[in-house]
Amino acid sequence: MSVIADRLKNVSISASAAMTQRARELAANGIKVVSLSSGEPDFPTPAHAIEAAHAAALAGDTKYPPMDGTPALKSAIIRKFKRDNNLDYDASQIVVSGGGKQVIFNAMLATCNPGDEVVIPTPSWVSYADIVKFAGGVPVAVPCHEQAGFKLRPEDLEAAITPRTKWLFLNFPNNPTGAACSRAEMAAIAEVMLRHPNVWIMTDDIYEHLVYDDFQFCTIAEVEPRLYDRVLTMNGVSKAYAMTGWRLGFCAGPKDLISAVSNVNGQNGGGIATLTQAAATAALDGPQDLLKERAAIYKERRDFVLDRLSEVEGLRCHRPEGAFYIYPNISGLIGKTSKGGRKIETDVDFVMALVDEHHVATVQGAAYGMSPFFRISYATSMEKLGEGCARIAQFCKDMR
């Protein structure tokens, strides 16, 4: 009898984490790898957030924290939702978790019964479907095609909803495509959801501050207040404030749902580190100018990568409205053979040959539910982006 539980049979290891590990292995062997696989900002955590954590430690704030978040952090989150999203919540409607992923994990464990369906617009972050499976639910992928700008079309959403549908996931700006929904596009999605009052909505807004070209971010509970009582709005400090290692996410929603999520949170992790909560409070309440400053740098990087890759025969790149990813289409290269002799039949073949032959780490589109594409993260320096794009261009040029 195996010691491993059956629930893990259909749960895979994150493809982006696996590729990042592959890059580390090559680097350990003395190979200079350009890693464009990790969705992690290269900026430092804001100094005032670090100082707040230090001050909290010196003041003795090192005891067990409240299970659902400190009063100070909850107050900062309330102000954030009002300031950025025009949403009103009170402390009983908020719970803090160990990163955005744990928010989603807790919510699914708290709500999904075996066979409940969760609609996931695809391409999607690699963990959504696996978390749903872990909770006993059934992920239902709804393709968001390149021709539609990787947006969720209302008619496709309508067709995917069944009597077993429990949740709809939304993630715009999107990982891996960077696609974001305008207010009109979000309103069209909301109109569908108003016709299905038994379906809940999880909106992952972790990239909300990373939008470009004067694009205006919106979230569904803000766009359609009639959905407020069945929306779980999730966010965190990892992407916008470059605090990935601090591990803090939060969500807001109806009290009964939040109580259930908090119950799971208390069993699988407990309260989040007091020093992390102090740092997050400072980040949310502190100067916000850095958000636009960093977004401007990301935009410069996005444009740089798009300019370089648009010149590569065989690649086609959608211009993303947000996040820090490019999702090139490689259909023009399928069927060719790399200089190293690898037949490129899938996007998995493409990214593995690219990392092995030219030492650039990216992630295959298959991991996100749509092929033939691959994901590039431009959350790194211009120097690395320049080197990475040059290697990708040479890799593609050498194919026959």
Tens of pLDDT, residue by residue, the chain (400 residues): 788 888 887 777 777 777 777 778 888 888 999 999 988 999 999 999 999 999 999 999 999 999 999 999 999 999 999 999 999 999 999 999 999 999 999 999 999 999 999 999 999 999 999 999 999 999 999 999 999 999 999 999 999 999 999 999 999 999 999 999 999 999 999 999 999 999 999 999 999 999 999 999 999 999 999 999 999 999 999 999 999 999 999 999 999 999 999 999 999 888 999 999 999 999 999 999 999 999 999 999 999 999 999 999 999 999 999 999 999 999 999 999 999 999 999 999 999 999 999 999 999 999 999 999 999 999 999 999 999 999 999 999 999 9
CB atoms within 10 A of CB 298: 20
The CATH 3.40.640.10 portion of the chain extends over 47-285
Question: CATH for 47-285, among 3.30.70.60, 3.40.50.300, 3.40.367.20, 3.40.640.10?
Answer: 3.40.640.10
Residue 269 in contact with residue 97, Cβ under 8 Å? yes
CB-based contacts of 147, cutoff 8 Å, min separation 6: none
Token pair 């009582």 is at which residue?
229
The CATH 3.90.1150.10 portion of the chain extends over 6-44+290-397
**For 34, how many CA atoms within 13 A lie in the half-sphere containing its CB?**
23
Residue 378 in contact with residue 320, Cβ under 8 Å? no
**389 is written with which tokens?**
């794009």
Class of domain 6-44+290-397: alpha beta
